[in-house]
């Protein structure tokens, strides 16, 4: 959530920054409306303060005059004025609450401001490639099969049976497929724990306040699966429960940075994506992911962001999977991100790179929504932390990349050297 005080002081600058995300989204109108409501609410607050002060004066005056034996008529007039003030105050209260609610709703609907270092651009076509790694590991096999065909031939994917059990965009892993997924999860967690992350196993169901805290609600309610009889939602990513573990807390500065990794199943409706990636492991309603989450002081968040990207890259390098790092431009940033790098892994069947991790720095955007602050020793005031997260990695997409990059001419798939101790075999 954006800082209302900063919007009030720099409306043109804030509007220009938001419009660098999208010139057609109407952010200018939203900012103007927000400022109108803010001015009205502040006017009401001043009026209420003045009326309350006069009401308090009347109460004291009535007591003083009564002790002095003032005429009943004088006391009655003052009491009537006091009653009128109380009535006016009672009328102002719901007006002020309604204005505050509308202001908060508008703030919750505004995305984060792009970082000053985020490249300007209208959409994904203007993202910036930062680096590539592993070109020497790209396979030379002619006419490589897509991973879903490989999975079916190897008997490790049972997509049709999964659709029968659930619906489209679900799959079931069988035998060595299930073992490979489990091996990848353990491998990723072990690597990230060794890199300094503390493992968390969080709830898979969260309340609405948690989704609001990390920015999925209210704007993206259609993307998540809701348990309608309870105020609970299936998590779209471990970012939500892990970040919200610290909601409404003031941390000691000495506790920062906090670094967590978490394996969870994740659940997304993928609204608006039908027709894309209908086969395979790329875009499922249910998928496994190892997430990296950090809470940091503002002054170190950029350094921690670069380190987080490196920790996600380290998994791909250990698996010898070719990839590239893309910096997202302002027009392609996610709702809450101020700066974001995507890691895209090479898929030989399509001869293209596909996203396998998105590593974002949210600055204080999520912390304001979730009210996560920290206090330095000896100082009275508390500041908002910066929050960061990224996939380390999306497990199903990693499996897809392994199947395609390590397929052999005889139809077998070699297991990456780093995974062999976990799986206990060299080939699928």
Structure tokens at 149: 């065909």
pLDDT confidence bin for 67, thresholds 50/70/90:
confident
User: Residue 61: what pLDDT?
Assistant: 85
> Looking at the whole model, is its pTM more than 0.95?
no
pLDDT at res. 388? 98
**All CATH 1.10.287.40 domain ranges in the chain, comma separated:** 4-109
On whether the 4-109 domain is CATH 1.10.287.40, my answer is: yes
Tens digit of pLDDT for each residue in 104-141?
999 999 999 999 999 999 999 999 999 999 999 999 99
Report in angstroms the alpha-carbon separations of 15 from 127, 220, 303, 411: 22, 22, 28, 55
Among 70-84, 221-235, 285-299, 317-331, where is mean pLDDT lowest?
Answer: 70-84
CATH fold, domain 124-423, is BirA Bifunctional Protein; domain 2 (3.30.930)
Catalytic residues: 268, 283, 355, 358, 397
Q: Is the peptide bond before 108 cis (omega within 30 degrees of 0)?
A: no
Backbone angles phi, psi at 379, to 5 degrees: -110, 145
Sign of CA dihedral 4, 329, 293, 227: positive
Radius of gyration of the chain measured on its C-alpha atoms: 28
Query: CATH 3.30.930.10: which residues of the chain?
Result: 124-423
The mean-pLDDT minimum among 2-11, 212-221, 273-282, 413-422 falls in 273-282
Pick the range with the lowest mean pLDDT from 53-57, 148-152, 250-254: 53-57
- pLDDT tens profile 6-58: 999 999 999 999 999 998 899 999 999 999 999 999 999 999 899 999 888 88
The mean pLDDT of 168-181, rounded to a whole number, is 96
Q: Which residues contact 421 (CB under 8 A, 6 or more apart)?
A: none
């Amino acid at each position: 959530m954006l800082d209302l005080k900063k919007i009030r002081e720099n409306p043109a600058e804030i509007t220009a920054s938001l419009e660098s995300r999208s010139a057609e989204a109407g952010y200018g109108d939203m900012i103007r409306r927000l400022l109108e409501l803010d001015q009205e609410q502040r006017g009401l607050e001043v009026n209420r303060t003045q009326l309350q002060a006069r009401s308090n004066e009347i109460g004291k005056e009535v007591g003083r005059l009564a002790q002095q034996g003032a005429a009943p008529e004088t006391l009655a007039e003052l009491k009537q004025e006091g009653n009128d003030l109380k009535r006016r105050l009672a009328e102002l209260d719901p007006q002020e609450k309604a204005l505050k609610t509308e202001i908060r709703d508008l703030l919750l609907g505004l995305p984060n401001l792009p970082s000053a270092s985020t490249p300007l651009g209208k959409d994904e076509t203007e993202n910036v490639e930062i680096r590539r790694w592993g070109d020497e590991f790209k396979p030379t096999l002619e006419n490589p099969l897509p991973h879903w065909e490989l999975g079916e031939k190897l008997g490790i994917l049972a997509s049709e049976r999964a659709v029968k059990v659930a619906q489209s965009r679900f799959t079931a892993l069988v035998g060595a497929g299930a073992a490979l997924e489990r091996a990848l999860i353990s491998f990723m967690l072990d690597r990230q724990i060794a890199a300094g992350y503390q493992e968390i196993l969080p709830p898979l169901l969260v309340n609405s306040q948690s989704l609001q805290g990390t920015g999925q609600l209210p704007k993206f309610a259609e993307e998540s699966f809701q348990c309608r009889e309870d105020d609970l939602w299936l998590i779209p990513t471990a970012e939500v429960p892990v970040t919200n573990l610290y909601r409404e807390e003031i941390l000691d500065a000495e506790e920062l940075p906090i670094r967590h990794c978490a394996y969870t199943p994740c659940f997304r409706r993928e609204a608006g994506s039908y027709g894309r990636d209908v086969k395979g492991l790329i875009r499922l309603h249910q998928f496994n992911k190892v997430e990296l989450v950090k809470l940091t002081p503002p002054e170190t968040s950029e350094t921690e962001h670069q380190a987080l990207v490196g920790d996600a890259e380290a998994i791909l390098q250990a698996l010898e999977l070719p990839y590239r790092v893309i910096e997202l431009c302002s027009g392609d940033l996610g709702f809450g991100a101020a700066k974001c790098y995507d890691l895209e892994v090479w898929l030989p069947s399509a001869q293209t790179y596909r996203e396998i991790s998105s590593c974002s720095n949210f600055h204080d955007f999520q912390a304001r929504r979730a009210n996560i602050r920290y206090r330095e020793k000896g100082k009275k005031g508390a500041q908002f932390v910066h929050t960061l997260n990224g996939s380390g990695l999306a497990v199903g997409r990693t499996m897809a990349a392994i199947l395609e990059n390590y397929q052999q001419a005889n139809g077998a798939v070699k297991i990456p050297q780093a995974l062999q101790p976990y799986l206990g075999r060299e080939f699928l």
